[in-house]
């Protein structure tokens, strides 16, 4: 059974930082591209960042220079370091694993507000 479990969300003031973590199980983690998506109320889910099995990264333009995706295959974990957070970053953040099949985590809420 494949599971992706996110953690690290919460409430933060504008300009603050959070680090999200996602632990995968039931898959050969190192073989998968891992990503973070987010979905704000009333909006479609959008890709935030992705890291391939070869550690190539890609970011949405809205988070470039502020967010960093990384992975630790020894811990089956992918991270999203989020700095200089803005109110428009408020959303539910979902972890995503992609290879032949796609898998999703349950999501973690990030709220940026003063």
pLDDT at position 4: 98
pLDDT score for 35: 97
Query: 32-63: per-residue pLDDT in tens?
Result: 999 999 999 999 999 999 999 999 999 999 99
For the record, the structure tokens of 100 come out as 């032949």
Q: What is the pLDDT of residues 1-33, one digit of tens each?
A: 999 999 999 999 999 999 999 999 999 999 999
| Angstrom distance (rounded) from CA 104 to CA 83 | 24
């Amino acid at each position: 059974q494949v599971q992706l479990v996110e953690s690290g969300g919460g409430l933060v003031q504008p300009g603050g930082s959070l680090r999200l973590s996602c632990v995968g199980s039931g898959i050969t983690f190192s073989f998968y591209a891992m990503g973070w998506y987010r979905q704000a109320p009333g909006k479609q889910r959008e890709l935030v960042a992705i890291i391939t099995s070869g550690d190539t990264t890609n970011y949405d333009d809205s988070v470039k220079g502020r967010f960093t995706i990384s992975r630790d295959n020894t811990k089956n974990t992918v991270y999203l370091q989020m700095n200089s957070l803005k109110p428009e970053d408020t959303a539910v953040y979902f972890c995503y694993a992609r290879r032949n099949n796609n898998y999703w985590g349950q999501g973690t809420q990030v709220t940026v507000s003063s």
